[in-house]
Amino acid sequence: MKKKWLISLLTLSMMTAVAAGCGGSGSKDGNTGSKDGNTGSANGGGEKTELTFWGDWGGEGQKQFETMIDAFNKSQNKIHVKYVLQQDMITKFLTAATSGGAPDILFWDRWRTSLYAPKNVLHPIDEYLSRDNISRDDYYGESLRELSYEDKLYGLPLTVDARALFYNKKLLADAGLQPPTTWAELETAATKLTKWNGSKLEVSGFSMGDLGLFNMYLQQAGGQMLTEDGKTNFNNDKGKQVLQFWSDLMNKDKVYKVGFEQGLGKGTDAFVTGKVAMLYSGPWMLSTYKKYGKDLDFGIVPPPAGPSGDKGSVMGGFGLVMPEDSKYHDESWEFIKWWLANKDNAMLWAKTSYNIPAYKPALEDPFFKEDPHWKPFMETLEFAKIRPAHPGYSVMESDALTPYLQLFQQNKQSIEDTLKKAQEQGDKLLKDNEIAK
């Protein structure tokens, strides 16, 4: 009798184990589980969907992401997100998108959308927005436009940023100057703030080391980088105004010297040490500059307007997207929505990362309203424009325009030749890359 009872117990145990092994990992329509069948327990019951989030931010950036991920994972018991740091992320993503193994959520530099959406590697989110009644008006229109291609939206914006003018309050006060609001005032202030000791530049009134800001200056001159039919649009009077302004600052007023910041030594911040009185930078530098307290009393104003009163700055920033190859679009969307369409969570991100969230309702928080350093960026974001959504734009700017601007800044090329050669090479690159491959 005892032997029979033992056999029955063993048989029952085996049947239970087999039954447990037959209960699959789940799918999007109903049950949830991980793609590889590895599931976790949710507070002792149910199975969690395991999602992978790829990003290329390490160090402090990784910690910021993991703060958000931990908060999401603790907020519910159906989905578990894991951050995976990826070097050379885009190359790995494109490989994974065609061979399997793509992540479920991707940290995304928005300007890439027009280049990669045509490859059908991203999943549109328009239906999710409609289903969950998420208003596009809650986001900066330019940031949504940068995440769009052929009337489809491929993600939600995570951050927005734009360049504004940082200035050293003490240096301006000592010179009896107010923060500039026009090109003319900028030139006057930069000239007065510059200090030379013979042939050695000791204090630059205004940093001109970032040639990538040409787009911003062109907007301030009333121009734009590309025509409606996708050709360069800077070899004209607007482009000449920009380079003449640069030439006056560099050669007539001598407010800057090529390579000045690099010549100060590795790790030396020219603005922090008072070697540069004014410069264009973004909100990502606020936390750094605030660390210096009274040793660096700085202010910020929107970019000065051009000769005819035109305002201009370039909006940049990141977003979260879902790869087309992911099996868990519904679950991935829940994570994206939780983070980017909720004021409290957007504010957790803002306070964690010191970035400006793209979700506008969060900007009404006292965190932004009571700190005067944020206001100039908010004002700038109202008129800032994204880079042109042409698949070949980034190649044109980096491989055609910037090299000729470098020659111009080094006084090796005239204004006319610079714009003419940049136009010829730029138009060729735009045409060669007008269809994303």
- Domain with residue 185: its CATH number is 3.40.190.10
Mean predicted lDDT score pLDDT of the chain: 89
Domain boundary residue, one of 331, 363, 381: 381
Q: How many residues are recorded in the chain?
A: 437
Q: 292 and 234: one domain?
A: yes
Domain boundary residue, one of 287, 314, 341: 314
311 to 136, 164, 181, 304, 375: CA distances (angstroms): 25, 11, 10, 7, 16
Q: What is the pLDDT of residues 399-421, one digit of tens each?
A: 999 999 999 999 999 999 999 99
Q: 135 and 193: one domain?
A: no
Overall domain count for the chain: 2
Tell which phi-psi region holds residue 413, choosing left (phi > 0), alpha (psi between -120 and 50) or beta. Answer: beta
Q: 370 and 256: one domain?
A: no
Q: 252 and 354: one domain?
A: no
For residue 147, what are the domain limits?
46-161+316-381
Q: 310 and 320: one domain?
A: no
State mean pLDDT over 13-17: 37
Q: What is the pLDDT of residues 127-180, one digit of tens each?
A: 999 999 999 999 999 999 999 999 999 999 999 999 999 999 999 999 999 999
**H or E element at residue 279:** strand 278-281
Q: 195 and 215: one domain?
A: yes
Q: 201 and 342: one domain?
A: no
Give the DSSP letter string of 76-132. Answer: -SSEEEEEEE-TTHHHHHHHHHHHS---SEEEEEGGGHHHHGGGT-B---HHHHHHT
CA atoms within 13 A on the CB side of 268: 12
Q: How far is 160 from 64, CA to CA, in rounded Å?
A: 16
Q: 188 and 302: one domain?
A: yes
Q: 196 and 225: one domain?
A: yes
Token pair of 410, please? 């080094």
Beta strands in 124-171 (DSSP E): 148-149, 152-153, 155-157, 164-168
Token pair of 35, please? 């793609």
Backbone angles phi and psi of 261, in degrees to 5: -65, -40
Domain boundary residue, one of 314, 337, 368: 314
